[in-house]
Amino acid sequence: MIPPPHLAPDDPESAQGDLTAGFRPRILVVDDRETNRVAMRHLLRGTAAEVSTAGSGEEALGLCLQREFALALIDVNMPGMDGFELAEYLRGAERTREIPLIFVTAALAEEIHRLRGYELGAVDFILKPVDDRILLSKVGVFLELFNAREALRRHRDELAERVRQRTASLEAAQQKLRRLDRHQNAIREEERRRIAHALHDEMGSTLANLKMTIQWLQRNRFDHERQNWELELLLGQVDETIVKVRHLTQMLRPPILDQCGLPAALEWQAAEFERVSGVAARVTTESTEVTLEEEGRIALFRILQESLTNIGRHARATEVAIALDTLGDRVRLTVADNGRGIPEELLTDFDRTMGLRGMEERACQNGGELHIESSTAGTRITAVIPSRATRP
């Protein structure tokens, strides 16, 4: 068999379009007689398909290299490359092997010719003169199959793209969660280091002084005048130790949160912030009882702590307004300052705003949400968490 020549189509009308054109099925008509091609084009004009024609097998191969066809109607008896030879080339190429082939022939003298056509991939034969109804019925079936196959392919591609996007989104979310987890671990380690430092420097020296005083009392039990003086000193050291233990306890978890509830804990934290930073902090709460589970109360309290820490470090604010209220079945905490605000580019930088992401994660873990509004006039952070009755 002679290798097929790579010829460009000489039919200007059939040369329009390519594989990137809009979705419309194409039919390829291959016949060496122009009158037959014109007649076939006229016959197929009522179908929802674009018709391309080729006057030879070589031209048909050239068209198949450029376009995708839903069906090919091929004349068997053509000079040069006949229909059977063309079918063999089409079936031998990955790009064209799936094109359904219908042979159009004036006669098939021997049954062996028909068998050869089926072996080469023909799906049917149509005898000349062509019966319009038979041809259009068969063409309609293959166009429907092609449309269904194309719709399935598009659906598959859309699903694949959605899966790719969802996978990329999940991978990005996992990376953010891993970085956030590392940030949270770093915060915990820093807190432990600070507490360990306080225990070593403050409690360690105080307990050492207590031990020395007790040892002196054991050695000098008959020096009553000195004993009274040392006992007074010992009581002062014990009081000092109690204060330090209470301070360390509050660093870990303020007892007021459990004993008096969230509103009192927020007021205590605001007072501590004002005492340390010098920034005025005002708290307003509703008179009604806030019904939150323990996890929700802790989340809002930690969000306030993180917000005040950020304000003290970066905001350059002179006032902070803290509000706790209810919105139907939800509890809302608002922390607003009059500082310089958070730059827009910083809000989108995950690595530089992991503290904010940590607050957002606390709210989300409790079925809530966190909103951040910032401008040069200040920053407002709003955390909303469902109450006990509506938590999932």
pLDDT at 281 over 70: yes
User: pLDDT, tens digit, for every residue of 82-125?
Assistant: 888 888 888 888 888 888 898 887 655 455 566 667 777 677 78
More confident residue, 334 or 230: 334
Two tokens, residue 296: 């929700």
Residue 207: how many other CB atoms lie within 10 Å: 14
More confident residue, 10 or 392: 392
User: pLDDT, tens digit, for every residue of 128-145?
Assistant: 788 888 888 888 888 888
Range of the domain at 226: 178-251
Taking all residues of the chain, what is their mean pLDDT, rounded to a whole number?
Answer: 80
Mean pLDDT of 137-164: 88
Q: pLDDT confidence of 266, banded at 50, 70, 90? A: very high
In a shared domain, residues 277 and 338: yes
pTM for the model stands at 0.47
In a shared domain, residues 233 and 269: no
Adjacency order of strands within the sheet including 378-386 = 280-285, 319-327, 330-337, 378-386, 369-375
In a shared domain, residues 267 and 237: no
**Residue 335 within a domain:** yes
Pairwise CA distance, residues 195 & 205, whole Å: 15
Pairwise CA distance, residues 250 & 255, whole Å: 7
Pairwise CA distance, residues 206 & 185, whole Å: 30
Q: pLDDT confidence of 352, banded at 50, 70, 90? A: low
In a shared domain, residues 274 and 247: no
User: Which CATH number characterizes residue 84's domain?
Assistant: 3.40.50.2300
| Residue length of the chain | 392
In a shared domain, residues 247 and 340: no
In a shared domain, residues 235 and 363: no
In a shared domain, residues 259 and 382: yes
pLDDT at 16 over 50: no
> Tokens 């409690």 identify what position?
203
**Residue 30 within a domain:** yes
pLDDT at 364 over 70: yes
pLDDT of residue 290: 64
**Residue 8 within a domain:** no
Residue after which a domain boundary falls, among 251, 270, 295: 251
Residue after which a domain boundary falls, among 251, 284, 300: 251
| Residue closest to 25 by CA, chosen among 6, 44, 1, 39 | 44
User: pLDDT, tens digit, for every residue of 191-215?
Assistant: 677 677 766 666 777 777 788 878 8
More confident residue, 223 or 153: 153
More confident residue, 228 or 55: 55
pLDDT at 333 over 90: yes
pLDDT of residue 187: 65
Across 197-201, 289-293, 325-329, which has the greatest mean pLDDT? 325-329
pLDDT at 17 over 50: no
pLDDT of residue 385: 93
More confident residue, 391 or 126: 126
In a shared domain, residues 41 and 88: yes
pLDDT at 153 over 70: yes
**Residue 236 within a domain:** yes
Residue after which a domain boundary falls, among 211, 236, 251: 251
Q: How many domains does the chain have?
A: 3
